[in-house]
Amino acid sequence: MSEATDLIRRMPEAFDPNAAGDMQMTVQYAISDPMYSVIDNGECSVHEGEASEPDVTITMEDSDLVDLMTGQLNGTTAFITGKLKVAGDIMQAQKLPSVFDRNRLS
């Protein structure tokens, strides 16, 4: 199990439903062990494998995903340098870090 997988599994505990508001999104994490998260009705759940129809797919190296979600890597910089690839609703993807407490993901 990778550090990225551990981080994704902690996402429900770090999720802030107030920050998410009425957000509804399925995010596929294309990492060494694919996983996805579902944000809906003020809740966040995570699952192993691939979502059938994700709204956003984030492709990154495991270590870069950890750095991004814990605030050690800037999303814009990661995107420009090719460390972060986003498919789907990019506007939704930009909101994603703001709905998690980074301190609880570290």
Closest to 50 in 3D by CA, of 37, 62, 39, 63: 37
Percentage of the chain with pLDDT > 90?
80
Residue 1 has pLDDT above 70, yes or no: no
Q: What mean pLDDT value characterizes the chain? A: 94
Phi and psi at 35, nearest 5°, equal -145, 165
User: What is the mean pLDDT of the segment spanning 39-58?
Assistant: 96
Helix, strand, coil % in the chain, rounded to nearest 5: 40, 25, 30
For 5-15, the pLDDT digits (tens) are 999 999 999 99
| 3-105 CATH, one of 3.40.50.10480, 3.30.1050.10, 3.40.50.2000, 3.40.1710.10 | 3.30.1050.10
**Residue 34 near residue 20 (C-beta atoms within 8 A):** no
Is pTM, for the whole model, over 0.85? yes
Query: What tokens appear for 80 in the block?
Result: 């420009």
For 15-47, the pLDDT digits (tens) are 999 999 999 999 999 999 999 999 999 999 999
How many Cβ atoms from other residues are within 10 Å of residue 77's Cβ?
A: 11
